[in-house]
């Protein structure tokens, strides 16, 4: 009876040790991948890509996105959508090329600020969720200082690690999904892409954007 009890105890101890080591290895793997993601985001100097945007109502738009550190961004939608978003690292503007008009916002209002900030530091973000399965890595981050933005979820393919899409949630829970296609990283971009001119003040007949 004593031997049976001893055998049962040893079996349980081995099971607990296996669970413990599996947990440790899993945590180590997660930390390693998170560090890899952090390095990936830090190493980006510029980005250009075609994109498909899907809003919470299922409406889709296409266009091109260009980014350059620090703080430069251009989101140009495919015609007939007249909207254009530009940041020159001093201000963020929304331009309607059809009306025309221009709205100016703070740089802090860029929802993908982590991609255009001069330095990406994981400590500036709270990790809401992390998943790694079927060669797809997902990490959801919330900026600690930006209360307007609920979170941004980055989705990567593994081996090599490459950004495929992101999902932005604002403070109201509204969700916007951006799918990237033909992504190009760290290439030289034409600085005219990030030049801001008020279309309402441009002489008639002169094409600005």
Please report whether residue 182 resides in a domain: yes
Identify whether 8 is part of a domain: no
What is the value of pTM for the model shown?
A: 0.80
Mean pLDDT across 101-117:
85
- The residue-averaged pLDDT of 60-85 equals 95
C-alpha–C-alpha distance, residues 4 and 163, integer Å: 55
| Domain extent at residue 45 | 32-188
- Report yes or no on 5 lying in a domain: no
Give the integer Cα–Cα distance in Å for 37 and 43.
Answer: 10
Within-domain flag for 144? yes
Under the banding of pLDDT at 50, 70 and 90, the label for residue 30 is: low
171: in domain:
yes
CATH code of 173's domain: 2.50.20.10
Structural domain contains residue 1: no
Position 80 pLDDT exceeds 70: yes
Q: Is 9 within the bounds of a domain?
A: no
The residue whose two tokens read 């993601």 is 37
Domain count, the chain: 1
Q: Is residue 27 part of a domain?
A: no
């Amino acid at each position: 009876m004593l031997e049976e009890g001893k055998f049962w105890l040893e079996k349980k101890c081995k099971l607990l040790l296996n669970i413990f080591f599996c947990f440790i290895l899993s945590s180590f793997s997660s930390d390693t991948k998170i560090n890899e993601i952090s390095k990936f985001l830090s190493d980006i100097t510029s980005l250009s890509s075609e994109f498909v945007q899907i809003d919470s109502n299922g409406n889709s738009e296409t266009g091109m996105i260009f980014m350059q550190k620090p703080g430069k961004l251009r989101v140009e939608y495919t015609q007939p959508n007249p909207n254009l978003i530009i940041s020159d690292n001093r201000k963020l503007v929304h331009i309607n090329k059809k009306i025309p008009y221009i709205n100016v916002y703070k740089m802090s209002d860029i929802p993908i600020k982590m991609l255009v900030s001069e330095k990406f530091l994981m400590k500036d973000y709270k990790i809401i969720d992390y998943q790694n399965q079927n060669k797809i890595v997902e990490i959801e981050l919330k900026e600690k200082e930006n209360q307007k933005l609920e979170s941004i979820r980055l989705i990567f393919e593994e081996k090599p690690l490459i950004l495929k899409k992101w999902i932005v949630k604002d403070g109201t829970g509204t969700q916007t999904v951006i799918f990237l296609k033909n992504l190009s990283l760290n290439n030289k971009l034409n600085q005219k892409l990030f030049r801001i001119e008020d279309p309402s003040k441009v002489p008639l007949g002169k094409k600005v954007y």
